[in-house]
Amino acid sequence: MKLIILRENLKAALLRIERGVTDNSNLPILKNVLLDANDTLKLSSTNLEMGISTEAKGKIEKKGALSIPFHPLLSIVVNSDSERITLEAKDDSLDLKTDNYQAKIQGLKADEFPILPSLKEDKGYIKINSQELNSAISEVVHAAQVSELKPELSGILFDFQISLFKLVATDSFRLAEKTVLNSEFETNIEKGFKAIIPLSTINELSKVFADEEIKIIFDENQVFFSSKQSSLISRLIDGEYPDYQAIIPKSFDTNLELEKKDLSTAIKLVSGFSGRSSDIKLNLKPESKTLEIYSSSQSVGENNYLIPVKRAGADFQEIAFNWRYLMSAVQSMHSDDISFNLNGAQKPALIKPLKDESVFYIVMPLES
């Protein structure tokens, strides 16, 4: 194998596959990247839970393949000041040269690298622009959290319903749901299904795929994402996702309309005085046209912030929320105006963009 490649092309490709490499393994090969030079240079990494492959354009002078340690190669490429890099495999090592630098990296034979599984391209698929998918994911992913006790919560539910699909995330204290209509994707799948995609996989999609069309293929145990340049395959989480529909409120005692920037500013200011439970409290006094948000701490003091609101329904006193949960919901919404709907201090509240029915966020109040 011998090739000449632009440093920026190689750097971009290495960064796309970086999270497929693992240092927490007794298998040295999993710390490696597979370089496979054919018509283009293909780079692959895997941690046995997820595999990533991508291509980088270069001038291939001799075809071949070799597996080498990822991090030494990345370090050289990132820190080099040369425009072009020459890579040449000699036996089980890689010679790397620039105009003013050279290195020899010990590698392993290509056939020792794990074979990345693939799904048949003729299976049912969903086609969508990666930017659209990543935007939808960004509206819900903050509500998920890795859990060893409940592994099914360590991912995002992909609920395909033919004419639409839903993305759902929850950590039991909060929940987010986003609906993507079929005007935004193409599919040949004729039957609905549900799958739980690991959070670690979800977090890699925006790094592997830029603004490009991707194809998504599911089978019973795996999901496969592919574009013209890159692919990512991952196991699915085996488990039953909670029946979250049962906790979605059907009606509310109080409905508030307010500006996103006002609520964001209030949370940022008031949260500095919150206690160990990260609590802030909401008050809506009788006939008041402002929502009071405040917090207090014996060691710090107290503060409050007033937000102008449009209101309907009952007033309330001291509904406490974890400020981080509220902030993540507010920051994820692509809207200037927010609808905040409450049912007192013991029942879940629902937050959503004022003029967008495709997404909502549910958060449980803290116990007083």
Q: What is the pLDDT of residues 300-310, one digit of tens each?
A: 899 999 999 99
Q: Which fold has domain 126-244?
A: DNA Polymerase III; Chain A, domain 2 (3.10.150)
Range of weakest confidence among 21-35, 111-125, 255-269: 111-125
Give the model's pLDDT for residue 277. Answer: 75
- Residue 261: CB atoms within 10 A of its CB come to 13
What confidence tier does 270 reach under pLDDT thresholds 50, 70, 90? very high
pLDDT surpassing 90 at residue 92: yes
Give the model's pLDDT for residue 297. Answer: 85
Nearest to 315 by CA among 353, 284, 361, 270: 284
Average pLDDT over residues 193-204: 96
Give the CATH number of domain 2-112. Answer: 3.10.150.10
Alpha-carbon Rg for the chain, nearest whole angstrom, is: 25
pLDDT surpassing 80 at residue 349: yes
Average pLDDT over residues 268-293: 91
Average pLDDT over residues 31-51: 95
Range of weakest confidence among 77-86, 98-107, 110-119: 110-119
pLDDT surpassing 90 at residue 116: no
pLDDT surpassing 70 at residue 132: yes
Range of weakest confidence among 62-66, 126-130, 296-300: 296-300
Beta bridge partners of 133: none
Beta bridge partners of 170: 175
What confidence tier does 4 reach under pLDDT thresholds 50, 70, 90? very high
Identity at 353, one-letter amino acid code: P
DSSP 6-22: EHHHHHHHHHHHGGG--
Domain range 248-363, CATH class: alpha beta
CA distance 294 to 315: 16
Is 67 in contact with 5 (CB distance < 8 Å)?
no
* pLDDT above 70: percentage of residues in the chain: 99
Beta bridge partners of 280: 321
Domain locations in the chain as residue ranges:
2-112, 126-244, 248-363
pLDDT surpassing 90 at residue 22: no
Average pLDDT over residues 141-145: 94
Is 44 in contact with 34 (CB distance < 8 Å)?
yes
Give the model's pLDDT for residue 293. Answer: 96
Give the model's pLDDT for residue 149. Answer: 84
The yes-or-no answer to whether 2-112 and 126-244 have a common fold is yes
Range of weakest confidence among 116-120, 133-137, 316-320: 116-120
* pLDDT above 90: percentage of residues in the chain: 88
What confidence tier does 121 reach under pLDDT thresholds 50, 70, 90? low
State the average pLDDT for the chain: 94
Give the model's pLDDT for residue 122. Answer: 67
In the chain, DSSP finds a helix count (H) and a strand count (E) of 6, 27
Give the model's pLDDT for residue 289. Answer: 94
What confidence tier does 275 reach under pLDDT thresholds 50, 70, 90? confident
CA distance 56 to 105: 20
pLDDT tens figures, 54-87:
999 999 999 999 999 999 999 999 999 999 999 9
pLDDT surpassing 90 at residue 104: yes
CA distance 365 to 277: 12
Residue 205 has which token pair?
């999609």
Is 204 in contact with 128 (CB distance < 8 Å)?
no
Give the model's pLDDT for residue 368. Answer: 63
